[in-house]
Amino acid sequence: MVSVGGVSMSTGSSNGRDHRRRQAGQIAQAYRAVHEIVSAAASLGLMTYGGYWLDQRFGWRPVLTISGACLGFLVAGMSLRQLLRRMDREDQKRRQKASGEQEIRSK
């Protein structure tokens, strides 16, 4: 640690690198979550539109639109459930790691 003008500066850059890596990992996880949410919304929209398009083509007005919307809700729900389960597993791992580090520090 070097003190310049009353301000302490760390000479080791590993702390900065570790912080940047953690931050980059968090940003990557956020992008992945947003991608999965947008994909779920897109599947809902595309399936509903597909049902509407088939209704227009075959003249079965609300039947295929409703069927497409239901299928879209099912697919989007499964996708969001998978996202939430993955996020829960990651949170549990993070908590276990933090509690393990606390035990080591307390000894």
- Overall domain count for the chain: 1
Residue 40: inside a domain: yes
Q: Do residues 1 and 9 make contact, with C-beta atoms less than 8 angstroms apart?
A: yes
Q: Cα Rg for the chain, rounded, in angstroms?
A: 24
Which structural domain, as residue segments, surrounds residue 70?
Answer: 36-107
Q: How far apart are CA 15 and CA 8, in angstroms?
A: 14
The one-character DSSP state at 107 is -
Q: Which residue has the tokens 């570790």?
A: 18
> In this predicted model, what pLDDT tens digit does every residue of 56-75 receive, in sequence order?
999 998 999 999 999 999 99
End-to-end CA distance of the chain: 26
More confident residue, 104 or 11: 104
More confident residue, 76 or 94: 76
Q: Which helix (H) or strand (E) is 66 found in, with range?
A: helix 61-106
Residue 93: inside a domain: yes
Whole-structure pTM value: 0.74
Residue 24: inside a domain: no
